[in-house]
A = this chain, B = another copy of it.
């Protein structure tokens, strides 16, 4: 099995064995070509290109250079792919790189990146996760252990000139936002065994991939919010000629894989689109989900976690963010479901009240907070 893109995590992003890139453009030169039906591997840097370290200080998160991100592997040409086709990408496997059995989750400082709850948690902090095979644990967030729903946060085919122009007019062509071609969708269910249908805009498709996540909660709420890592993806591709027209496709679609961790037992928190100051936001699902997350954090704090730990945990563990009522004017309702079985203690409500856990410590903070 070929490895068509190689990385070396001991080297800076600019000195990689296979060049990486961090902008969307049809003229980024392809680094490899594959055949439809071929099974091949692609290695990827973590999205920051190695800026974050396995230590107990969050200064690297605070001072992260966001002008570099995201480092992507590719573009990869798929022989025969033409504009108008659908590129069918099957994620046959994803693994950490050999010997790289750790990842990180960070809350960006409000003044450098920020996140979903930066009004409440404005300071940089981080958690380091250790991988025990399929499981992750963190010395910064004790009391939990879960199987990762490993996936790439970012995938897509290169835009053509027209699409690029549209993006540049609208928001620039950085890699941060999700877009018509997919991009940084941060869909946690694009895991092992999933199959994604991407619109093709240029000859050869020019597919890129990166931002590997060992695990992530829906929303990736703390922004650097998954368990971020380098990794190696096993891929297989095929082509549906003229698929965009045949299926009326505007954005990618996908089918999830058969080996997602089974965490059916969840404790689920509701939120409505009335913010913490009592202000109503008309059918605003974003606001409703924010409130659901804040409600979940309050619950976890009662068990002994700090707010920052709870925020990082919702962001990094396989939590389900769902839309409930979207039409019941004037309030939207959204929910976040947390796997009960990832906790070493019981987090469900009972007449005894929460047994406050001791020794839950705290996440890594910046040096000026210590």
Residues of A within 8 A of B (CB): 1, 39, 86, 88, 91-93, 95, 98, 101, 115-116, 132-135, 147, 153, 166, 170-171, 176-180, 182, 184-189, 192-193, 197, 218-223, 225, 234, 236, 238-243, 246-272, 274, 278, 280, 283-286, 289, 291-292, 295, 298-299, 301-302, 320-335, 337, 340-341, 348-351, 353-354
Contact = CB atoms under 8 A, between A and B. Distances in A.
A258 B147 contact: yes
Given A262-B264, A325-B186, A349 B240 contact: yes
A190 to B, nearest CB: 9
Contacts of A39: 132-133
A323 B331 contact: no
A220 B326 contact: yes
21 contacts: A1-B101, A115-B327, A147-B193, A176-B328, A178-B325, A179-B272, A180-B274, A186-B333, A218-B322, A219-B323, A221-B327, A241-B351, A247-B302, A247-B354, A251-B295, A253-B269, A254-B267, A258-B263, A265-B265, A285-B286, A322-B323
Contacts of A324: 178, 185-188, 218-219
Contact of A328 (B178, B269, B272, B298): B178
- Nearest 10 Cβ contacts at the A-B interface: A92-B133, A93-B133, A186-B325, A321-B323, A248-B298, A285-B285, A219-B326, A177-B331, A178-B333, A133-B234
Contact of A268 (B241, B254, B289): B254
Contacts of A218: 322-324, 326
B251 A269 contact: yes
A24 to B, nearest CB: 13
Contact of A323 (B240, B260, B284, B289): B289
A171 B325 contact: no
A297 to B, nearest CB: 9
A258 B258 contact: no
A34 B130 CA distance: 19
B328 A177 contact: yes
A228 to B, nearest CB: 13
Nearest to A340: B255
